[in-house]
Amino acid sequence: MDFRIMMYCAAATLVLVHAVDSAYSSSIPRSRCLPHQSSALLQLKQDFAFNNSSFTDSCSLSNQKMKSWIEGNDCCDDWDGVTCNLETGHVIGLDLSSSCLQGPLSSNSSLFSLTKLQRLNLAYNNFTLSNIPSRLFTQLPRLTHLNLSSSNFYGFVPSEIALLSNLISLDLSSVAYFDILKGEGCELCESLTMKTVSENMTKLREVHLDGVNLSSVSVLSFSKFAHLISLSLYDCNLHGEFPMNIFQLPNIQVIVLSDNENLIGSLPDFHNGSQLQTLHLYGTKFHGRLPDSIGNLKSLIELIIERCNFSGTIPSSLGNLSQLEVLDLGGNNFNGEVPATLGNLSQLKYLALGGSNFIGQLPATLGNLSQLEHFNLVGENIKGQLPSTLQNLAKLTYLRIVDTGLTGELPFWIGNFKLLESLTISGKFEGQIPSSLGNLSHLSLLKLYGESFNGMLPKTITNLTQLSYLIISDTSLTGPIPSSLYRMPLLTEIWIENNKFTGPLEFENVSSSPLSYLSIKNNHLDGQIPISVSEFPNLLQLELQSNNLSGKLQLEIFPENSELQILGLSDNNDLAITSSSTNSSVHKFDTLLLSSCNIGETFPEFLKTQDEIRYLDLSNNKIKGKIPSWFLNIGVDTLSNLILSNNSFTGWERAQPITLPWKNLRLLDLRLNSLEGSLIVPPPSITHFFISENKLGGGIDPLLFCNLSVLQVLDVSNNHLSGTIPQCLVNSSSSLLVLDMKHNKFSGKIPETFLNENSLKTLDLSHNRLRGKVPKSLINCKALQVLNLGHNVINDVFPFWLQNLPELQALVLRSNKFHGPIWDSHHDIGFVKLRIVDLSMNDFSGNLPSDYFNKWSAINTEITKENKSELKYMEGGGDYYKDSIVIVQKGYEIEFEKILTIFTAIDLSNNKFDGTIPSSIGDLLAIKVINLSNNTFDGLIPTFIGNLKELESLDLSNNNLFGRIPGELATLTFLSYLNLSGNNLSGPIPSGGQFNTFENTSFVGNVGLCDFPLSKKCEDTNAVDEYSQQCDESDENGFGWEAVLIGYGCSFVIGAIGGFVIISKKPKWLANIFGRYLQ
């Protein structure tokens, strides 16, 4: 038969079949909505009040589906969200998602009369923290699809949910309203027995429980849902090991387990037939290597494993995922190079490689990712330059290259990304900012960081007409800031901080500027602040601190109706803030930062109108006299931060208030004044209270201070306070981080009871008159980093139990009455993090075993270049408080007002230690200061000290050491102070290195020493060498005093030849007395 005839016959047959089918369908009568079901729906409508004030984007009048529910109309045809069975008229589907329903879903709701209901969607409504009625599950047994997500239900899911044996899709996600509930969250399903659910709901294919608290549910329960297609358990407090077989279910397409920080697991071998499309594991503890078989996931579209514990190299097979659109590998422990096969991912739109340990250069093949829109790269071990092939990524809208090891200039071709909307660059890039940035016509966000950027800001930056957010920070850019920057049409935020920009401020024609935030602090700008600064119509925040601005600025230039809330002018030493008015004409600010602004000697009266002030800084202004009484009425309800430090305040006008009136005060800083009288009491809201270095006296009233329940930092040091320390100070606030009471006249005992689970990081009670023993309850202070009890009269043995404090870094017990040994066979000393130890000026005694320092891990670890380049200070109390300490270094007591985290010191001086210096002292590779002076140590100076390459100060004076000075000490390039005086050392003083800089005061009192810098010359070098060899051999072979005494005659002869040498005692003044670590 002719082919064309066959086709005509087939087509005719299809037309006939369709006609018959249509005729049959039209012959079936279409049922209308059943009256009792229509009534039930109208009753449901009346049960809820429409209120879109509780919703934002998810609800609008157009989404109120019930508005179409009008009595008399057919609910099956005319009512939104209602689906009926066409044959019976029963309502089988109800979609009321995002319908602005508000109020509880009651247990007698007419909804439960719709017993034929199969699909129910109530997502994105507001059921006002009501419980889910159990009748929802008992009366609607035919449900196949149930969605109650993000509807503000609260409580437990009734166990009757297990009755829904026909359920195919279940969504109880509630994460959208966690923030509104202020962290209380929804505890849905916590009482639910997943075993029962998995046994009864065998048809489940979709399970979405995002944000539900499943902390009491075993993750193994989910492995019994054999037909799963989609499983989403984001932020469910899951824990334990996730069952591996779920990844291998035959129909699984979506697995989302993100933000379950206690969930562990690993990835299996994937087979070729896997249908998996979405795999999100970020924020979990999944670990191990990515299997090579991951390349078999040919359907995978999204792979997000950020912030897990994956390790090893990235398998090249990842490049086989031809459908992959999203790949996020950041925040893991991957190593090796970024595989070149990633360039094969032709559909990739999102690539994040941040925060892992990738090494080497970026593969040029990344330029093949022609669909890429989002590229995020972080990793200091990625070296080289940006591959020029990246300029082919024409669809990029987001580019972030942060903290990498990439070098060279920022390439000119970066201006080729015509669609780019967000650009962030930081790291080791150098040179000038390319003018081609001005070609990025769609750019709305630009962030540039990096101290190696130099030159001037290109004028083309003002071509970025879509720019709304600009940050240029921590660079070496110089020159003026283009004044046209402030007039860009969409630019609302400018943060140009910590650079080297110069020149005057120019704010011309800014009356139409959209700027809301302008910060140009920490630059080198000069000249006066122009009056036109007040003409920005939308400016909320203006920060000009730490420049070279000068002249006078009257606050009246800002009109009363100004939008300005935050004004920062601190640390412009030639700038004077003035006001000619005390009336209401001065604009009311939220924040005034006026430190070092030459306000004058009298308290500024313009503050009388600032009754809405929240943050006020008047520090370093030389204000004298008493704080006026009217100031206590300013910002009573609003003031949270008050900084009046480093002035000359003497007290309070009229009577000192018993308690300060500011209800919401969080930080009060009155340091470095001349305040007299008793200690002022802050309000109960206080978290940081600084009143050190004043002239306050009297005691601390426990009745007034014991209600400071949120106190974090209390610094009353350097006053004349006396009496006992109230027990409540260490108990009233579990959040207390710092208690600094040094340099006062406190007496009695240290508070005996430190509660469990306290937060204390710094306890400094030094320079008082405290007695008794060290309270053993300090063992409860598991976060303690600094313990300073020096300069008291504490009478106790060494507190061995302190080594059980896992965070202890600085221990100072100097100048007390501690006694006895600091080790015994029953206490294996091992301070894991201890870096600063000062036990000087006590009565400690006994010898130290050779392995004494073996377990001092923090000092035994060699300091790397990376450690030195990232200098950090100890901050027990955050940014507002820096730990300080006094250490004898280079022969002087030096106060370290800030302690670098790499600073290390051991001071055992002025005790009664004897025996040999432990050889394990040579293991302290990070040590910088060693002081063992004024003890009775004997034997040789350990040659292992030559291993201590970081050592800066070594004091072994006034002991009984003998033998020669090890030549290895001459290799210590940082050793700037050495004191070996007052021993029995002999032989030639080593030469070379730092020894060429030491004066004879370093060696006085050692009769047998000779050569530079002493005037005594070594006359018999051979005799000296023979003696030294004997001494070395006796030490190495374990011969004690017997061998030494046998050879002592030779040293006596050598010493007698030289006689006594008259040594000048004028010490050379140390120009750099504070060393490298005093800031």
**What pLDDT digit, counting tens, does each position of 350-397 carry?**
999 987 889 999 999 999 999 999 999 998 899 999 999 999 999 999
Please state, in angstroms and rounded to a whole number, the distance separating the CA atoms of residues 265 and 242.
Answer: 5
Q: Smallest Cα–Cα separation from 296: which of 325, 266, 317?
A: 317
Q: What is the pLDDT of residue 31?
A: 66
Residues 6+ apart with CB under 8 A from 183: none
Tens digits of residue pLDDT in 87-136: 999 999 999 999 989 899 999 999 999 999 999 999 999 998 888 999 99
Q: What is the pLDDT of residue 885?
A: 77
Same domain, 230 and 266: no
Burial bucket for residue 424 (CB in 10 Å: 0-12, 13-18, 19+): middle
Beta strand 810-812 pairing with 786-788:
parallel
Q: What is the pLDDT of residue 21?
A: 40
Q: For residues 24 and 613, which has the higher predicted lDDT (pLDDT)?
A: 613
What is the domain extent for residue 902?
785-959
Residue 391 inside a domain? The answer is no
Residue 174 inside a domain? The answer is yes
Mean pLDDT over 886-910 rounds to 79
Same domain, 234 and 260: no
Same domain, 794 and 871: yes
Please state, in angstroms and rounded to a whole number, the distance separating the CA atoms of residues 460 and 465.
Answer: 11
**Phi and psi of 1052, rounded to 5°?**
-65, -40
Residue 159 inside a domain? The answer is yes
* Domain count of the fold of the chain: 4
Residue 510 inside a domain? The answer is yes
Residue 501 inside a domain? The answer is yes
Determine contact, residues 771/886, Cβ cutoff 8 Å. Answer: no
Count CB atoms within 10 A of the CB of residue 439: 18
Q: Smallest Cα–Cα separation from 596: which of 577, 611, 610?
A: 577
- Residue 1 pLDDT exceeds 60: no
State the SS3 of 44-110.
HHHHCEECHHHCCCCCCHHHCHHHHCCCCCCCCCCCCCEEECCCCCCEEEEECCCCCEECCCCCCCH
Residue 11 inside a domain? The answer is no
Same domain, 277 and 202: no
Residues 6+ apart with CB under 8 A from 378: 330, 353, 354, 355, 400, 401, 402, 403, 404
Task: Find residue 845's DSSP bridge partners.
Answer: 912
Mean pLDDT over 1021-1036 rounds to 43
Same domain, 523 and 593: yes
Same domain, 72 and 213: yes
Q: What is the pLDDT of residue 703?
A: 85
Mean pLDDT over 434-459 rounds to 96
Same domain, 261 and 233: no
| Virtual torsion, Cα 342, 343, 349, 353, nearest 10 deg | 40
- Residue 953 pLDDT exceeds 70: yes
- Residue 1077 pLDDT exceeds 70: no
- Residue 1070 pLDDT exceeds 50: no
- Residue 268 pLDDT exceeds 90: yes
Using only C-alpha atoms, the chain has a radius of gyration, in whole angstroms, of 38
Residue 974 inside a domain? The answer is no
Residues 6+ apart with CB under 8 A from 403: 378, 379, 380, 426, 427
3-state DSSP call for residue 257?
Answer: coil
Token digits of residue 339: 């595989």
Taking each helix axis from N to C end, the angle separating 1041-1058 and 1021-1036, rounded to the nearest 10 degrees, works out to: 160
Write down the pTM of the prediction: 0.81
Domain closes at, from 561, 579, 598 = 598
| Virtual torsion, Cα 26, 29, 35, 40, nearest 10 deg | -50
Q: What is the pLDDT of residue 878?
A: 60
Query: What are the angstrom distances between the C-alpha of 344 and each of 340, 386, 388, 392, 771?
Result: 8, 19, 18, 14, 73
| DSSP assignment letter at 1037 | T
Q: What is the pLDDT of residue 583?
A: 61
- Residue 411 pLDDT exceeds 60: yes
Please state, in angstroms and rounded to a whole number, the distance separating the CA atoms of residues 453 and 449.
Answer: 8
Q: For residues 32 and 183, which has the higher predicted lDDT (pLDDT)?
A: 32
CATH number of the CATH domain containing 540 = 3.80.10.10
Q: What is the pLDDT of residue 185?
A: 41
- Residue 474 pLDDT exceeds 80: yes
Query: What are the angstrom distances between the C-alpha of 34 and each of 47, 90, 92, 814?
Result: 20, 7, 12, 91
Provide DSSP, 362-397: PPGGGGG-TT--EEEEE-TTEES---GGGGG-TT--
- Residue 1042 pLDDT exceeds 70: no
Count CB atoms within 10 A of the CB of residue 6: 10
Determine contact, residues 712/877, Cβ cutoff 8 Å. Answer: yes
Percent of the chain with pLDDT over 70: 85
Same domain, 100 and 199: yes
Q: Which amino acid would we find at residue 518?
A: L
Q: Smallest Cα–Cα separation from 687: which of 756, 733, 650, 649?
A: 733
Domain closes at, from 939, 959, 979 = 959
Q: What is the pLDDT of residue 1068?
A: 35
Q: Could you tell me the pLDDT band of residue 1069, with boundaries at 50, 70 and 90?
A: very low
Q: Could you tell me the pLDDT band of residue 581, with boundaries at 50, 70 and 90?
A: low
Q: What is the pLDDT of residue 232?
A: 97
Domain closes at, from 572, 598, 624 = 598
- Residue 8 pLDDT exceeds 60: no
Q: What is the pLDDT of residue 18?
A: 43
Q: Could you tell me the pLDDT band of residue 1027, with boundaries at 50, 70 and 90?
A: very low
Q: Smallest Cα–Cα separation from 599: which of 581, 627, 624?
A: 624
Query: Any idea which residue has 């994956």 for tokens?
Result: 310
Average pLDDT of every residue of the chain = 86
- Residue 616 pLDDT exceeds 80: yes
Same domain, 228 and 333: no
Same domain, 221 and 81: yes
Tens digits of residue pLDDT in 487-525: 999 999 999 999 999 999 999 999 999 999 999 999 999
Tens digits of residue pLDDT in 844-887: 999 999 988 888 888 887 755 555 545 566 665 566 677 777 77
Please state, in angstroms and rounded to a whole number, the distance separating the CA atoms of residues 614 and 592.
Answer: 9
Residue 1029 inside a domain? The answer is no
Tens digits of residue pLDDT in 644-668: 999 999 999 988 887 899 999 999 9
Same domain, 226 and 342: no
3-state DSSP call for residue 833?
Answer: coil
Same domain, 202 and 282: no
Token digits of residue 331: 């925040």
Please state, in angstroms and rounded to a whole number, the distance separating the CA atoms of residues 504 and 610.
Answer: 30
- Residue 1066 pLDDT exceeds 80: no
Q: Smallest Cα–Cα separation from 966: which of 1061, 975, 958?
A: 975
